[in-house]
Amino acid sequence: MSTKAERTTAYIIETVAPIFNKFGYVGTSMSDLTEATGLTKGAIYGNFENKESLALSAFEYNRNHLLAIIDEKLAVEGRALVKLDSLMRFYKQYDVYTLPMGGCPILNVGVDAQSNNKLLAAAVKETIKEIEGKIALVLENGSNSGEIHLPVPPLQFAKQLFTMLQGAIAMSTMTRDRKYLVNTIAYLEHLVKQEIKR
């Protein structure tokens, strides 16, 4: 059973994760955090060394949720194309999925942290590499089994695929027009079925 301190720490992270994600490290004030949690500044910093460690914990919380659902989508029964289709269907609804988080944590934190928080920027970079690696493994298995034919190495293809997904998320977010996301996914589904399927 968790201690009261552990429960308080978990509560703080869950509560502030969407705030940091939506408003950024610099844009999130201490008063935003105390208002959202109902705790004093002292109570919050009794559980975290500083604002940076809290922001990092908040990103890791969102990141872990995202990685868990990506794992779930890629773990569906079936061959590589079924797994890729499952991932694409998730990304079609990605904006809806990330709404309670305050948007895409990779996009939001990645852009926000570039110039003002090296630890957060590094955590985002590692998350991107991890997701690309998960996609590359599916592609590699599909290629090894003869199900798909890749014009480039699996990791390179995974990076290109993920770049297009994140680009679509960025455009959809900035324009508030989900057609960028839906149309890009439709194109990627076509690409996968027409270009790499054997």
Contacts of 13 (CB under 8 A, 6+ apart): 54, 57, 58, 61
pTM of the model: 0.94
CATH code at 12?
A: 1.10.357.10
pLDDT tens track, the chain, 198 positions: 578 888 999 999 999 999 999 999 999 999 999 999 999 999 998 889 999 999 999 999 999 999 999 999 999 999 999 999 999 999 999 999 999 999 999 999 999 999 889 999 999 999 999 999 999 999 999 999 999 999 999 999 999 999 999 999 999 999 999 999 999 999 999 988 888 987
User: In the chain, how many domains are there?
Assistant: 1
The tokens describing 81, both together, are: 């194309």
User: Whole-angstrom Cα distance, residue 83 to residue 85?
Assistant: 5
Looking at the chain, how many residues does it have?
Answer: 198
DSSP string, the chain: ---HHHHHHHHHHHHHHHHHHHHHHHH--HHHHHHHH---HHHHHTTSSSHHHHHHHHHHHHHHHHHHHHHHHHTSSS-HHHHHHHHHHHHHTHHHHHGGGTS-HHHHHHHHHTTT-HHHHHHHHHHHHHHHHHHHHHHHHHHHTTSB--SS-HHHHHHHHHHHHHHHHHHHHHHT-THHHHHHHHHHHHHIIIIIB-
What residues have CB less than 8 Å from 43, skipping those under 6 apart? Answer: 8, 37
- How far does CA 101 lie from the centroid of its chain? 10
For residue 4, the model assigns a pLDDT of 86
Q: Give the model's pLDDT for residue 74.
A: 98
pLDDT at 185: 96
pLDDT of residue 17: 97
Q: Which two tokens stand for residue 84?
A: 């890729």
Residue-number span of the structural domain to which 108 is assigned: 4-196
3-class SS letters over 167-183: HHHHHHHHHCCCHHHHH
Q: What is the pLDDT of residue 14?
A: 96
